[in-house]
Amino acid sequence: MWHPNDGGYVAIPAAGTPVRVTVTRTPGQTLFFQQLQGNTGKLWICSRADANKTTGVGILAMIAAPTLSGGVAVVLPYAAVTIPTAPSALNLAEFWIDADINGDQCLVSYVRQ
């Protein structure tokens, strides 16, 4: 069953300070993290609140900035995490998101079974 994350958007008010996706245990089998149309910098998927973009400690993935053509995003990059043989093995509360630009957002959604 496809079940989107409540709210969907995670805003990063201060670049360099990762924001936890949720504080509530939220099991999922596949997690999706996607850039938004208005973002201009990279997003970082982290495994901890003190992740360091310079050293890579706590960084799970980097999502490139949207590709623009005529000022409009034509590619919205994303990252996905999945454990296909273990339903509900992932927990959204164990992921943080950081950004290169203050105020950028990430669309987070998940699949649970």
- CATH code of the domain covering residue 82: 2.60.120
How do residues 35-85 score in pLDDT, each as one tens digit?
A: 999 999 999 999 999 999 999 999 999 999 998 888 777 889 999 999 989
Contact indicator for 23, 83 with CB cutoff of 8 Å: no
Residue in the structure block whose two tokens are 């296909």: 84
**Full residue range of the structural domain in which residue 56 is found:** 2-111
How far is 33 from 67, CA to CA, in rounded Å? 16
Tokens representing 81 are: 């995490």
Neighbours of 73 (CB within 10 A): 17
pTM for this model (two decimals) = 0.89
How far is 82 from 30, CA to CA, in rounded Å? 4
Contact indicator for 4, 34 with CB cutoff of 8 Å: no
Give me the mean pLDDT over the 9-19 stretch: 95
Q: Which residue has the higher pLDDT, 72 or 88?
A: 88
- Structural domain total, the chain: 1
pLDDT of 4 above 70: no
Average pLDDT, the chain: 90
